[in-house]
Structure 1
Amino acid sequence: MIKKTMSVHEVAKLTGITARTLHYYDEIGILKPTGLTEAGYRMYDDTALSRLQSILLFRELEFPLKEIKAILDSPDFDASEAISQQIELLELKCKHIEELITFAREIQNKGITAMNFEVFGKSEIEKYKAEIKAKWGNTKEYQEYKKKDIARNGGSYSKIANELLTIFFKLGKLKHLAPNADEVQNGIAAIQKFITDNYYECTNKVLSGLGEMYVGDERFRNNIDNAGGDGTAVFVKQAIVVYCSKRKV
C-alpha cells in the first residue's frame, strides 16, 4: 500500500529509478513533487506517482522526455486511453522481441544461410508511436485539425475523405506520365491545398512526411491504391518528392 506522500528516496526504492533522476525530472518540469517539507525535501503523493508510472511506461517505449512531457501536459490527455495505447505498443514490442529471439535461435541451430534484415525493422512500432505523438503531442498541426474537425457537421467527414480519395483517383489515371509532369504536379498541389483547407497547414515538410506515410503505412497505401489502382501510393510519393524538391520547405 502506497503512503499518502513519499520522499525522493522512498520513491527511488519503490520504482528503481535514482534520486538524481527524480531531481532532474523536477528541473525539467516533467514530474514536479507534490510539495516540500519544512527542510526543503521533495515529497510525492499518489497523483505524482501515477504520473511517474506513465512517464516510465513511455520511457520503456523509447519516447524522448520532451515528447512525454508534451503528451502528459496536453489538455486533451486521457490517462485511460493512453494506458490502452501503451499496452498495444508494449504488445508490438513484445512481438518484435519474440521474432528476434526466433530468428536468433534459427541462426544458432542452422547457421547463417541467408541474410535477413527485415526482422530488425520497427516500422509498425514507429508508426503507432507517431499516431500517439500526433494525438497527444499537442502539435500545431493537430490543434488545427481538431478545430476544423469540430467545425464540421456530423455528415461531412466521409464526404471530405471521399473528396481526397477522388484526387488520388485522378492521380492514378496519370501513372503513365513521369512524376514531374505538369498534370501530376498540379495533382500534388491539389492534395496540399485540400489538406490545408480541411485538416491543418500542409507545409512542404508536412507534405513530404505524408508522402512517406502513404507508402509506409499499409492502411494509407491500400486506400490510395484502391482509389487510383495498384502503385498509385508509390507514384504519389515519387511526385511529392519532386514537388517538394522544387520548393522551400
Structure 2
Amino acid sequence: MTYTVHQLAELANISVRTLHYYDEIGLLRPAFLAPNGYRYYEENELILLQQILFFRELEFPLKVIKHMLGQKDYNIQEGLRQQKKLLKMKQNRTQKLIQTIDKTLKRMQKNQKMKDQELYDAFEDKDMKQYQDEVKERWGNSDAYTQSMKRVSKMTKKEMEKLKAKGIELTQKIAESMNKGIADPEVQFLIKKHHEGINFFYECGYDMYKNLGSLYVNDKRFGDYYEKFAPGLATFMKDAIDYYCSNHTQK
C-alpha cells in the first residue's frame, strides 16, 4: 500500500513536520515524488520508519540512527532483535523504579525497613547503557565512523595494503601468544599495539575499545575473522582487551 505524508504521519502517530525533517536530513526518504511534488511512502519506508521510532524510543540520537541505518550491512531483523533486548532492559528498569516507589512509600509510613542505598539502586542502568553502546558500535558510531572514513580517504592503496599487512602480523603474534594467558606482559603489549591501531582510524577510548572487544565474540563476522588465525582467538582477544581496559580505567 502507498501512503501520502499525511496518511503515514497519522498511521505512525507522528507529525507531518517530523517526516519532512527526516527527509531533509536524509534519514527517511519517500519512495517517490509525484509530479505535483507530493511525497509517497511504501513498504520499505514503513519498516524503516518503525526502526527509527524504536531507536528514538530507546533515546538514540538521530545522527547515530542515520549512520546505523545507512550501513550497507545493516540487517533489519537483527536490529529488531537488538531493539527487543533493549526494550526488555528498559521494561525491567521501569519495574524496578516502580518497586522502589512502593518501598519508599512504605518506608515513609514506617511499615518497612529500607536501606539508604535501596533508595537509588533502581536508577542505575549500566547494563542497558553498555548494550546501547554495543549496538552503536556494531552499526557505526557516528563520530568514529566519520573519523575513520576521513582518514581512510586520505590513504593511498599502497598505504592501505601496508597497514592491512601490519594488522595481520599483529594478530598472528597475539594468536601465537595465547598459551601465555591474557595477563602476560607480552600479550598486554600486543593488545596495546592493537588499541593504538584502532586509534589510528578514530578516537577509541577504553570503554569503546572494551565494547569493540565484545563484538569479537558477539558478531559472527569478527569471530570468523579471528578464528581463522587460531581456534578460540576471538574469545582470547575479548578477555585480553577486558583485562587491558580494566587496568587502565582503574588508574
TM (norm. structure 1) is: 0.66
Instruction: Decide whether aligned partners of structure 1 residues 62 and 206 sit closer, same or farther in structure 2, where only a CA change above 3 A counts.
Output: same
CA distance in 2, matches of 1:165, 1:63: 41
Matched, 1:71 2:74: no
Instruction: Decide whether aligned partners of structure 1 residues 20 and 96 sit closer, same or farther in structure 2, where only a CA change above 3 A counts.
Output: same
Question: How much is the aligned-residue C-alpha RMSD, in angstroms?
Answer: 4.1
Which residue of the partner structure matches residue 199 of structure 2? Answer: 201
Which residue of the partner structure matches residue 103 of structure 1? Answer: 100
CA distance in 2, matches of 1:213, 1:165: 24
How many equivalent pairs are there?
Answer: 206
TM-aligned CA deviation for residue 165 of structure 1: 9.2
Which residue of the partner structure matches residue 155 of structure 2? Answer: none
Which residue of the partner structure matches residue 134 of structure 1? Answer: 137
Q: Which runs of 5+ in 1 are unaligned?
A: 172-185, 240-249
SS at match of 1:38: coil
Instruction: Decide whether aligned partners of structure 1 residues 157 and 106 sit closer, same or farther in structure 2, where only a CA change above 3 A counts.
Output: farther
Which residue of the partner structure matches residue 42 of structure 1? Answer: 39
Instruction: Decide whether aligned partners of structure 1 residues 205 and 34 sit closer, same or farther in structure 2, where only a CA change above 3 A counts.
Output: closer
SS at match of 2:250: helix
Which residue of the partner structure matches residue 249 of structure 2? Answer: 237
CA distance in 1, matches of 2:203, 2:7: 46
Instruction: Decide whether aligned partners of structure 1 residues 29 and 114 sit closer, same or farther in structure 2, where only a CA change above 3 A counts.
Output: same
Matched, 1:17 2:20: no
What does the per-residue CA deviation read over 1:24-68, in whole Å, with 9 as the maximum and x for residues that have no partner?
A: 111101001111222211111111111000000111111001111
Contact 2:134 2:211 survives alignment (8 Å): no
TM-aligned CA deviation for residue 196 of structure 1: 4.3
Which residue of the partner structure matches residue 29 of structure 2? Answer: 32
Which residue of the partner structure matches residue 170 of structure 1? Answer: 184
Instruction: Decide whether aligned partners of structure 1 residues 29 and 108 sit closer, same or farther in structure 2, where only a CA change above 3 A counts.
Output: same
Instruction: Decide whether aligned partners of structure 1 residues 51 and 86 sit closer, same or farther in structure 2, where only a CA change above 3 A counts.
Output: same
Which residue of the partner structure matches residue 88 of structure 1? Answer: 85
CA distance in 2, matches of 1:142, 1:163: 29
| Aligned-partner residue type, residue 183 of structure 2 | F
Q: Which runs of 5+ in 2 are unaligned?
A: 109-113, 153-162, 213-234
Instruction: Decide whether aligned partners of structure 1 residues 212 and 137 sit closer, same or farther in structure 2, where only a CA change above 3 A counts.
Output: closer
Which residue of the partner structure matches residue 123 of structure 2? Answer: 120
| Aligned-partner residue type, residue 194 of structure 2 | F
Instruction: Decide whether aligned partners of structure 1 residues 163 and 104 sit closer, same or farther in structure 2, where only a CA change above 3 A counts.
Output: farther
| Aligned-partner residue type, residue 58 of structure 1 | F
